[in-house]
Structure 1
């Protein structure tokens, strides 16, 4: 990714957009696909139209890439743009100054809840899709949703409720929402934060929500220059704990940092809230944000400075209601992102967490890593060949008893941008060779987040 003289970001190599939508059937497979992997793997990410330029790596139109697996075969691949108002040319800001939440590129995640397949972005409405990835249109849950919707909602594994939020550049800066298990928006409430902070993710536990109020904030002077957010040393950094049914938020001050993605959170036996996530030090934020077209306080911190301040590493925060204090601990020194887990343990005490390693600037090759959060051991699947992995989605085995019995699915591409595979790894042993590789009919640009949608859903 490079920036041209006019401020446009050039996406190349494994990030380069594809120019069209295609369909392919009977995909070749190396290895043996587990027959019980019957469903669709879907992945979202930004993909500008041919000839379009972008001022930031996060701003391209959403494109869903899908692979259909059934009974040990890879039946099809297809990709489709999410047809939002923005794709049709509609302006985000209407003539009266209000925002059109349907005119935003839905380019960040794709999930299913209560029979709805939804493409998500944190700055607009979700967009409903058909099983074949065609766009049905924006979804505001019967007119009840009046804010944007995060790309990282959390589904409670016991109740089936979906918890999410929207943030804005004007008050209310943060709004909490909850869907019932059957997809009805049943609760919304404002959450008081001091300013227009960029809230990309949050966490749930059995009884609480955990908010991230961190020092990356909206700056109106940056409008028209990509993502209009910047680091603000004066904003502060804190995590907030709020009862699920609403009420006061209890805030815990932490060292300045940013967190795009939470791995998980839970309540321990002492009533403390444990939060695991990927922490960006100020130097790491500066370096990475500038590399994708964002405006920073400097020209981007060098690798050595970012590494000395913690890079983008797995961290743990323990929030103690008895003392009102947060304890912070770095769990690993590798530069990682996209933490995932067995979704049956969202908000519960998970043992295993998976993440993508991509610190090539520090001389390390791409990999998928598995953390044993209780025993402290790690397993790593090195990709080799200068390849990079997308988010690794965990799929539980149908008869699995252990938390890690199942597979990790990830689209892997080479940095030169010549090809991509859907990799299937045995989650119990990441050091083993892949269970199977589905060879995709085209290069798939490295993107953001995806989901496994089993046929039983």
Structure 2
């Protein structure tokens, strides 16, 4: 029997395609000039022990002058793909180039980088060809998170890396707007937890130290995610002041949970720090029957009070979803709206009133993560949401463009692709 993560639209595609002058239903906004890129696991040998392990493949659509100029998909040619490199050799030495580069694709300081949290980033050309691993000129000596944050005020790229067997389990990094790595400092945590994301505000960095812990025995099997839920580990948020990056990280206890993805965070006028997340009650608990499936993630907010030393935790909605996003030009600042992906829908939240608008794609059409593409230079202003949508009736995929301010309306444009885009992870609109 085929594993579930290799069946249906999780199944990998086997060809790298290039197609030009794609057919379009509707009208592509002429303001959209650039690439929509999305990364995801696509095992080159059509097999992997877990969905998260597949080789990275970038799917890109070029929009220009109201036309869908081209589509192409390319594997990220990591050393793991081309040479069979492994994270650790027989002597326990880590190879930071070894990894699938399958989780995200971002652009900073003129470089397009494919990311996975267990390895160095891989730099790509405009044609999505792989240039090779990128270590910030030899300055980066850890892996790099798949969820770096660009400060909209300074242009700095904030990120972290975490280890598995290394004594420094977590390291915080900052690169300048010019791409030069300026800062690396360890952050002390009790053990090797899975730190997938973090939060950035205008004044703070917020780390999540949550009870999903690395398991060496599971890693040696190579058949599953090498992490398990640990009731004894606890859960907490670490707050570091951006103006004192080598200073003390203050830790605040929270109820045990797991978070893959942060929607956004900001410094409130009353001195608190507000963090919106998609929160799971727990993740990868081991039972006598194996790993228990997780419950759904829903939208929560944490309000950290540095003076009182407390965190107020509040569930904001009960709709399940993932892949929360905002207009990235408002990262770390208060935003009016954010959105997330449901099973067959996108949901846009008014974070001031709590109201929500849904775009339902229908029972046979499944969207992935949607990235925001701005209409003009006003951060937080109008724009569009772009997402790949799989149609189970045709086994083909489309790039769908929606008006972010009128999410319930019909798509502005649907770009019909030459093949299928499998279920994947994260991507971005990269404007010219």
TM-score, with length taken from structure 1 = 0.90
Match of 2:18 in 1: 23
The alpha-carbon distance between structure 1 residues 84 and 296, as it changes in their structure 2 partners (threshold 3 A), is farther
Match of 1:183 in 2: 179
2:5–2:50 CA contact under 8 A, matched in 1: no
2:4–2:10 CA contact under 8 A, matched in 1: no
The alpha-carbon distance between structure 1 residues 10 and 317, as it changes in their structure 2 partners (threshold 3 A), is closer
Deviations 1:314-356 (A, max 9, x none): 0000001121111111011010100000111100011101100
CA distance in 1, matches of 2:324, 2:416: 25
Deviations 1:161-205 (A, max 9, x none): 000000011210000000010000010000011000000000111
1:254 deviates by 0.8
Match of 1:388 in 2: 366
Match of 2:261 in 1: 261
Match of 1:55 in 2: 49
The alpha-carbon distance between structure 1 residues 416 and 62, as it changes in their structure 2 partners (threshold 3 A), is farther
1:385 deviates by 3.4
1:298 deviates by 5.3
Paired residue for 2:218, among 222, 236, 243? 222
Q: Secondary structure at the match of 2:228?
A: strand
TM-score, with length taken from structure 2 = 0.95
Task: Structure 1: give runs of 5+ residues left out of the alignment.
Answer: 290-294, 359-365
Paired residue for 1:35, among 30, 38, 60? 30
Q: Matches of residues 230-241 of structure 1 in structure 2 within 5 Å?
A: 230-241=228-239
Deviations 1:11-42 (A, max 9, x none): 11111100010100110000000011010000
The alpha-carbon distance between structure 1 residues 402 and 243, as it changes in their structure 2 partners (threshold 3 A), is closer
1:300 deviates by 5.8
CA distance in 1, matches of 2:216, 2:171: 21
CA distance in 1, matches of 2:26, 2:52: 34
Q: Does 1:276 align with 2:276?
A: yes
Count, aligned residues: 426
CA distance in 2, matches of 1:24, 1:161: 36
2:98–2:119 CA contact under 8 A, matched in 1: yes
Match of 2:72 in 1: 78
Match of 2:40 in 1: 45
Answer with 82-91 or 23-32: which moved more. 82-91
1:9–1:56 CA contact under 8 A, matched in 2: no
Q: Matches of residues 195-344 of structure 1 in structure 2 within 5 Å?
A: 195-223=191-219, 224=221, 225-244=223-242, 245-282=245-282, 285-286=283-284, 299=290, 306=295, 311-344=296-329
Task: Structure 2: give runs of 5+ residues left out of the alignment.
Answer: none
Match of 1:67 in 2: 61
1:128–1:136 CA contact under 8 A, matched in 2: yes
Match of 2:375 in 1: 397
1:385–1:414 CA contact under 8 A, matched in 2: no
Q: Secondary structure at the match of 2:79?
A: coil
Match of 2:136 in 1: 141
1:10–1:53 CA contact under 8 A, matched in 2: no
Q: Matches of residues 409-448 of structure 1 in structure 2 within 5 Å?
A: 409-415=386-392, 418-448=395-425
1:239–1:254 CA contact under 8 A, matched in 2: yes
Match of 2:355 in 1: 377
The alpha-carbon distance between structure 1 residues 337 and 418, as it changes in their structure 2 partners (threshold 3 A), is same
Q: Secondary structure at the match of 2:258?
A: coil
2:329–2:379 CA contact under 8 A, matched in 1: no
1:273–1:318 CA contact under 8 A, matched in 2: yes
The alpha-carbon distance between structure 1 residues 297 and 377, as it changes in their structure 2 partners (threshold 3 A), is farther
CA distance in 1, matches of 2:259, 2:195: 9
1:46–1:447 CA contact under 8 A, matched in 2: yes
Match of 1:292 in 2: none
